């Protein structure tokens, strides 16, 4: 396992948000964290990056306790894309190159520049290389922050709603790129998602959060109408479109 979460509990100023969270992610796996607004998904992601420190429980990254690692050690292993981000007066190329910073000793090498070019190409951002971030659309900017995290070549990639600003084509392309990176580079991707059908299409495993704790965790077998209705409070059918499972809310 590349990421092991054991008994994590987190409270904001004494108000519990997460209780007894356990799950593990293997190399090459994409795991979606699903649950209602306010279920604690973003809080959990921040606990996996030491932005927040749980009051109880442990998080192991490749057998090392996350909370004993320093910022640089974490940045060398964990890439994180927050739900909200700001645009700055950087060019797209420089912003993505920043992702290499944890690996750069003195100055960027030919390998660093090559990685940046590759990631820009993967995400269809080559034409924007020299544009400033504050001149991009919301979706273009979202792709740049994801590109920066991919350029970081982390062993664990944490993405908080990575497709929230993207059109359909870009949603599919970004998630395809994330899944490809996970499978080919053997890294773990943990992705907070609201779109259940995108999650179904691109994830190997699912963590369903409800009432501050794990409602269910596992592969496609846990995506049942009962579990989805249990988490979201909406009756659904789970159908198949060819090989792709889809969740359809039922009329109420």
Ligand X SMILES: Nc1ncnc2c1ncn2[C@@H]1O[C@H](COP(=O)(O)OP(=O)(O)OP(=O)(O)O)[C@@H](O)[C@H]1O
* 37, 70, 127, 252: which one binds ligand X (CB under 6 A): 37
Q: Is 249 in the site for ligand X (CB under 6 A)?
A: no
Q: Give the interface size with ligand X as a residue count (CB under 6 A).
A: 10
Per CB under 6 A, 54 contacts ligand X: no
Of residues 98 and 217, the one with the C-beta less far from ligand X: 217
Please state at what angle helix 138-151 crosses helix 110-122, rounded to 10 degrees. Answer: 140
Closest approach, Cβ 40 to ligand X, in A, equals 4
Question: Which of 2, 8, 32, 41 lies at the binding interface for ligand X (CB under 6 A)?
Answer: 41
Do residues 89 and 37 lie in contact, with contact meaning Cβ atoms separated by under 8 Å? no
Q: CB 97 → ligand X: shortest distance, Å?
A: 29
Q: How far is the CB of 13 from ligand X (least distance, A)?
A: 6
Footprint of ligand X on 61-120 (CB under 6 A): none
Does position 138 bind ligand X by CB under 6 A?
no
Kindly state whether residue 43 participates in binding ligand X, applying the rule CB under 6 A.
Answer: yes
Binder among 34, 39, 120, 174 for ligand X (CB under 6 A): 39
Q: Which stretch binds ligand X (CB under 6 A): 22-30, 37-45, 138-146, 224-232?
A: 37-45
**Binding window for ligand X (CB under 6 A); candidates: 35-43, 123-131, 139-147, 170-178:** 35-43
162 touching ligand X, by CB under 6 A: no
Binding site for ligand X (CB under 6 A): 12, 17, 35, 37-43
């Amino acid at each position: 396992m590349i990421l092991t979460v054991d008994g994590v509990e987190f409270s904001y100023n004494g108000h519990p948000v997460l209780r007894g969270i356990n799950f593990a992610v293997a190399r090459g796996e994409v795991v979606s964290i699903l649950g209602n607004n306010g279920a604690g998904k973003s809080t959990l992601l921040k606990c996996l990056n030491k932005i927040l420190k749980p009051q109880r429980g442990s998080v192991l990254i490749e057998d090392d306790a996350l909370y004993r690692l320093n910022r640089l050690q974490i940045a060398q292993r964990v890439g994180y894309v927050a739900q909200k981000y700001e645009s700055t007066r950087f060019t797209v190329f420089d912003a993505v190159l920043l992702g290499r910073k944890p690996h750069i000793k003195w100055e960027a090498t030919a390998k660093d520049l090559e990685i940046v070019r590759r990631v820009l190409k993967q995400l269809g951002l080559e034409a924007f290389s020299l544009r400033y971030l504050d001149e991009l659309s919301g979706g273009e900017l979202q792709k740049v922050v994801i590109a920066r995290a991919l350029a970081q070549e982390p062993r664990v990639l944490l993405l908080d709603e990575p497709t929230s600003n993207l059109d359909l084509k870009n949603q599919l392309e970004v998630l395809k790129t994330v899944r490809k990176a996970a499978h080919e580079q053997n890294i773990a991707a943990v992705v907070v998602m609201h779109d259940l059908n995108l999650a179904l299409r691109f994830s190997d495993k699912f963590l369903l959060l409800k009432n501050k704790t794990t409602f269910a965790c596992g592969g496609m077998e846990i995506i049942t109408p009962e579990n989805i209705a249990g988490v979201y409070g909406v009756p659904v059918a789970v159908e198949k479109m060819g090989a792709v499972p889809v969740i359809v809310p039922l009329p109420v």
